[in-house]
Amino acid sequence: MNRAMVRKLLKGTISLGGDKSLSHRAVLLAAMASGRSVIGGVSSGADVASTCEVFRGLGVEITHSDDRTVVSSNGRTEFTPPDRDLNCGNSGTTMRLCTGIFAGSKITARLVGDESLSGRPMSRIVDPLRMMGASIDCKGEDSRAPLVIKGSPLRGISYQSPVASAQVKSALLLAGLAASGTTAITEPEKSRDHTERLLQALGCNLLVDGLTVSVEPCQTLPAFEYNVPADASTAVVFAVAASILEESEILLKNVLLNPTRTGGFEILSRMGAEISFESRHLQLGEEQGDIIVKSTELSGADSSGIATATFIDEIPILAVAAASANGETDFHNVGELRVKESDRLQGIIDLLRCYNITAVAEHDDLKVQGGEIRKIAPPDHKGDHRLAMAAEILNLKAEAKLIGGFEAIISISAPEFYPQLRAALQ
């Protein structure tokens, strides 16, 4: 950066919105439960709003007020057959997990999505659900939306998943609640485990044995109360920003610290980031706490030994940290990025190129060479909220100002991103 330029730094306490993954699952399970559930801190992003709208279309009452979401339902066996398409918007989590729930239900539902979601393959859940006896109609060999699910009797299976995917695992576990016999899923490495923790906390007979998770049928779920901790993925964005903007120091309040979600912080620590954790505590089996981040000089690192699933969503912003580091940073087994909201792997490479940084994909690995971050071309977020956030942090480092105008796309996951970032900038 031009040293004559006014620098920007981050200071103060940052309170982020509720974790998106946990918000989805809390709303889903509350809709499946019988009674009135109260959930605090639900993400106000567009993705979770899509989940709420899907279940409203099934007769579930969902209201929001004073940072509380109240879900009143008669239970998953009493969903009202929908009289319209159920729109999942841009949310792959909504579409995949709802497909699992509806597969063993008494209703027929047609799930649709926006252009981006309609282009994403759903075969990774459709194929094993069909093995369980699910009736699902979809488009093409890779099973793209719209998906028409006709509820039918299911049977438990033992499934060896070719990918570590919390969405695949969760879809099968949720279907397994309505299946006859045991449903077991084995992954090549451990993916995020929010669904397992919540189901266990709600009394389901669920067993975790290494990389295998199995569940027995569970006809009813109880209503519950829960407070969703701050979003772990967005917290990594602010941690990277504070690490690379000189003289920064921030406190991130009450962040989800589930070990299947902290790979991003592990990688930052390997790069030499100054990160500390305070006030750790458990709620419904989920660890949370405060995080203090101070700016420091970063060095290139290697992700070997850290399960990719624990940082897959944070790779765009971790690539920004890598761009600021001395030397090369290698991210391994990240091919899953090609089937996110965009071809996120190529999107990262293209974005870094706009800021004079070299990055290459070799098979399923991403290599980023740290260097001088300076803007040489307008960045393109490709309609991807995580690329948009990464672009803003790159631009702060390069030009000491925000690009702005990405509110619509970033609000999909983090509507609080701009307000919190602008409040902390000095």
CA-closest candidate to residue 4, choices 407, 400, 414: 400
Q: How far is CA 333 from CA 122, 142, 241, 303, in A?
A: 20, 22, 25, 9
Q: In this prediction, what percent of the chain has a pLDDT beyond 70?
A: 98
Average pLDDT value for the chain:
95
Which comes out higher in pLDDT, residue 383 or 148? 148
Q: Do the Cβ atoms of 278 and 209 come closer than 8 Å? A: no
pTM: 0.86
**Catalytic residue numbers, as ranges:** 313
Runs of H (alpha helix) within 177-296: 194-201, 232-244, 263-270
Report d(CA 240, CA 298) in Å as an integer: 10
Band (pLDDT 50/70/90 cuts) for residue 3 is very low
Q: What is the pLDDT of residues 393-419, one digit of tens each?
A: 999 999 999 999 999 999 888 999 999
pLDDT digits (tens, 9 = 90+) for 17-31: 999 999 999 999 999
Range of lowest pLDDT (51-55, 67-71, 281-285): 281-285
Output the six-digit token pair for 42: 């639900």
Considering the domain 11-16+229-424, what is its CATH architecture? Alpha-beta prism (3.65)
Cα separation, 189 vs 209, whole angstroms: 12
DSSP letter, residue 326 = B
- Calculate ∠ Cα 211-216-221, nearest 5°: 110
List of residues 6+ apart from 83 with CB closer than 8 A? none
Q: Does residue 83 surpass a pLDDT of 70?
A: yes
122 touches 97 (CB < 8 A): no
Q: Write phi, then psi, for 319 (nearest 5 degrees).
A: -65, -30
Of 23, 14, 81, 11, whose CA–CA distance to 50 is shortest? Answer: 23
Greater model confidence, 399 or 337: 399
At 1, is the pLDDT very low, low, confident or very high (cuts 50, 70, 90)?
very low
11-16+229-424 and 20-215 agree in CATH topology: yes
Positive or negative torsion for Cα 53, 55, 61, 63 = negative
For residue 318, what are the CA distances in angstroms to 159, 205, 225, 273?
Answer: 32, 37, 34, 12
Give the type of residue at 160.
Q
Q: Where are the domains of the chain?
A: 11-16+229-424, 20-215
Q: How confident is the model at residue 336 (pLDDT cuts 50, 70, 90)?
A: confident
Average pLDDT over residues 182-188: 97
Position 305 scores a pLDDT of: 95
How many of the other CB atoms lie within 10 Å of CB of 112? 17
Write the DSSP string, 369-392: E-------S----TT-HHHHHHHH
pLDDT of 7 reads 80
Place of tokens 């890779």: 142
Q: Residue 130's pLDDT is what?
A: 98
Instruction: List residues bridging with 281 in a β-sheet.
Output: 288
- Residue 283 pLDDT class (50, 70, 90 cuts): confident
Taking alpha carbons only, the member of 200, 205, 202 closest to residue 223 is: 202
Residue 141: band (very low, low, confident or very high) from pLDDT cuts 50, 70, 90: confident
pLDDT tens digit sequence for 230-248: 999 999 999 999 999 999 9
Q: What is the pLDDT of residue 284?
A: 84
Residues 6+ apart with CB under 8 A from 16: 230, 231, 234, 235, 238, 252, 253, 255, 414, 416, 420
CB neighbours (10 Å) of residue 28? 26
Q: What is the pLDDT of residues 46-68, one digit of tens each?
A: 999 999 999 999 999 999 998 89
Rg (Cα) of the chain, in Å, rounded?
Answer: 21
Residue 201 has pLDDT above 70, yes or no: yes
pLDDT-derived band at 338 (thresholds 50, 70, 90) equals: confident
Which of the four pLDDT bands, split at 50, 70 and 90, describes residue 5?
low
CATH number 3.65.10.10 is the correct assignment for the domain at 20-215: yes
Contact present, 242 and 293 (Cβ < 8 Å)? yes
**Model pLDDT for residues 97-107, shown as the tens digit of each residue:** 999 999 999 99
Pairing mode of beta strands 183-186, 158-160: parallel
Amino acid, single-letter form, for residue 138: C
How high is the pLDDT of residue 4?
44
Q: pLDDT band for position 2 (50/70/90)?
A: very low
pLDDT at 361 over 70: yes
Confidence of residue 6 (pLDDT cuts 50, 70, 90): low
Tell me: the pLDDT tens digits for 157-180? 999 999 999 999 999 999 999 999
